Chain A
């Protein structure tokens, strides 16, 4: 057995890969040959030194990084377990994406809405148009509560009979009384009148021109109304004298 052959077999010998029969003659050669023995010894030392390098110190943060990664992967795995989990996972992602998209816009958006409301409420009065009372539906609430706020005529009992009275449309009146229908808009002003019976008196004219009514309301909203002004004939003062 030549030294070259023996030196090639040293590596398998160290790894116990040489058959028993061949091993004996190989070991005998290593005992007898100084050069091959030294080679074998150096290979043994090298293997021993290498085997001592089997445990390198891990950086302290690596274990923590691995656990964080494992935690993420576990969450990822669990989010894909079933169809509903997957749906929930993606809907969560979508929600987060939408939230992130909207969050920077939230303050400008809210500011814009508030500004628009303020501007709109400030500008609304200037948008009002003259109402065409000819087309108004006077029957909206003809029996609504209509009260005279200030006028020469009053609606309270105990006043003299010759003062014009504001009465509901359904109230009855004497045969000789003067009756005027007053059409009142939603701001409480008389916008039109109609002499139904008798002659217009100056008191009635004053009421028509100067009275301010509290308008009728429908569902809490001021609405045009129709009231009846009646003057008893006790002291009749006609306009057309």
Chain B
């Protein structure tokens, strides 16, 4: 398969993805000061995990970054290929690309497929609302509200999911997998075989299906 067809396969959006209308196509900057368009370059046809943070945050953000780094390690083979992490600054006025680069480097998180993003404050506020709003002004107006949540999106299947950063690591992996591209029947066969083996093992060990 040539590169072009691979790309078109992997990054094909779902026909009824809400697209730019929902995600916006705001121009953001990465930690490498590269301009990217939010929908076209980051979301379209891709599976991604998104969190809101800021560099000077001493509360949840560094903890969440650590969790993402751990998650990155487990998903290394997919990162930057069909899976991406986006950490979006909620204090873009302070977080220049250089500041984010510094933040990422300091935490060994300056990795392929993981973008730290800054941009216009209005644009980012819009994106935060579009991705995380709970329809409750008391919550939605407080930018700290979603610091512990990952938004998991797969634009190829139009899947919106989420994960709690402090849940078990297996739970986070599960939730990212729940948003995976649709499997082919052959892939489901393999999945089912593995699941069956795991259930049998579990029942033998604990007397009931417990861990899978």
Are A and B genuine complex partners?
A: no
Residues on A facing B (Cβ under 8 Å): none
